[in-house]
Amino acid sequence: MVSPECARPASNRVIRRIPRRPVLLGLTAVAVAVPAGSLLAGCGRSEPDPLEAVAARARSDAALIDSILAQPTLGAALSGRLGPVADARRQHAVALGVELGETSPAPAPPPPDPPPDQSSQPSSGPDSGSGVSSRPSPDDVLPRVRTALDDSVHQAGRLVLTLPRQRAALVASIAACCAAYRAVLE
């Protein structure tokens, strides 16, 4: 003989039904919380922000130009051409610092070695008539500035493809500015 409980259809058994809406809301909350948790877990990582390297290069470029302009003969000859470039690179460093959340500007790196000075070469007198200048000329230092700007353009160009839209726009405008100044210094 079959018991009456087994003879009943499955839909008539006493099973508590759970409303669909709370289940779907719960699953949605879990689906949102898991990625957010993994993002927050990544906040403690010690990976440097990629904009820090761009800001450091901007400060370094400005320091290089400042060291060139600090030399009396070069400063007088190149201040009109290199002064605006140094100012722009300092502004780039400040803008990147704001994006990085810096409350005070980062210190400038120590200036790079000054351009080679040929005054240590022996000469027969102050006016030896050899035709060799004892001081560096603009033709000696401008290639260093051009190379620094080229490096900045390449660094920013590689980075722009990996950044979110707002940061990419900032870095792309910095790259464009460096490229424009590089072309002007030809």
Query: Which position has the token pair 């000859």?
Result: 77
**pTM above the 0.75 mark?**
no
The yes-or-no verdict on residue 113 having pLDDT over 70 is: no
Strand boundaries in 24-67, DSSP class E: none
Q: Please, what sign has the CA dihedral across residues 101, 107, 108, 111?
A: negative
Taking the C-alpha atoms of residue 120 and residue 136, their distance in angstroms, rounded to an integer, is 12
22 or 137: which leads in pLDDT: 137
CA–CA gap between residue 166 and residue 39 (Å, rounded) = 20
71-85, 86-100, 114-128: which is most confident: 86-100
Residue type at position 58: A
Instruction: Report the distance separating Cα 118 and Cα 116, nearest Å.
Output: 6
Name the residue with tokens 């000696």: 140
Q: What is the mean pLDDT of residues 150-154?
A: 96
**Cα-based torsion angle of the residue sequence 74, 78, 79, 80 in order, rounded to the nearest 10 degrees:** 160
Specify whether the CB–CB gap between 150 and 175 falls below 8 A: no
Average pLDDT, the chain: 78
Predicted local distance difference test score (pLDDT) of residue 15: 57
The pLDDT of residue 97 is above 70: yes
CA distance 176 to 160: 12
Is 60 in contact with 148 (CB distance < 8 Å)? yes
Is the separation of the CB atoms in 112 and 57 below 8 Å? no
CB 170 within 8 A of CB 94: no
